[in-house]
Chains A and B, each alone.
Chain A
Amino acid sequence: KAGVTQTPRYLIKTRGQQVTLSCSPISGHRSVSWYQQTPGQGLQFLFEYFSETQRNKGNFPGRFSGRQFSNSRSEMNVSTLELGDSALYLCASSLAGTGLPGELFFGEGSRLTVL
């Protein structure tokens, strides 16, 4: 069974640009979550989607947005990039509803560097 796939794995952007990250969940998983990981703040919750609806949202500015498609694939977008957005962005999928709450399966992440 294929795991969670994130693309791109690495990317470099400059301040003010925008970026779109993609996530393909494990087949059959309907919930997709996004986390930002930095050395200073650790893993922080961005948002969670279930059946194309945002179900939970973290404390990030509106520059961070996401969506989920009917096939459960998800994208997140960061607009007007700032230096502080440099981080590893992790996507995680879960069964949601039939699996254990909190049992997340993570991808390897997209490492974003903002110059």
Chain B
Amino acid sequence: QKEVEQDPGPLSVPEGAIVSLNCTYSNSAFQYFMWYRQYSRKGPELLMYTYSSGNKEDGRFTAQVDKSSKYISLFIRDSQPSDSATYLCAMSGGSGGSNYKLTFGKGTLLTVNP
């Protein structure tokens, strides 16, 4: 079993739809949970960041972390064609410098159709 599991999709939705992306993980030491967005031929960029359990909202994006279930989610409201990208969940945690060693899901390719 991989440490982080993410459905690779692809996921195709119409413009304006609500998108739900999810990851599960097995390492209970993870404390920091991130969502990165990667456009084609670009490096990933940080989209959302959450420490421990809870929800975080930023505009059209909401990140949720449920540490008891080892499950994290990203919701995109009113999706736009510009949201078309690969979404990667990432996690880190543990003692000392391992906070800076990220474990990524394989990514979900999202296409938002006009």
Contacts and interface: CB of A to CB of B under 8 A. Distances in A.
A42 B41 CA distance: 14
Interface residues of A, number: 28
Interface in B68-90: 88, 90
Contacts of B44: 43, 90, 104, 106
Contacts, number: 71
B92 interface: yes
Nearest to A88: B43
Interface of B: 32, 34, 41-46, 49, 88, 90-92, 97-107
Contact of A100 (B41, B49, B97, B98): B49
B102 A104 contact: yes
A4 B45 CA distance: 12
A75 interface: no
Contact of A101 (B32, B45, B88, B107): B32
Contacts of A15: none
B100 A48 contact: yes
A28 interface: no
Prevailing SS type, chain A contact patch:
strand
A35 B90 CA distance: 13
Contacts of B97: 48, 50, 55-56
Contacts of B100: 31, 33, 48, 50, 55-56, 94, 96, 101-102
Closest 4 CB pairs of A and B: A106-B43, A101-B99, A42-B106, A43-B104
Contacts of B43: 4, 90, 92, 106-109
Nearest to A42: B106
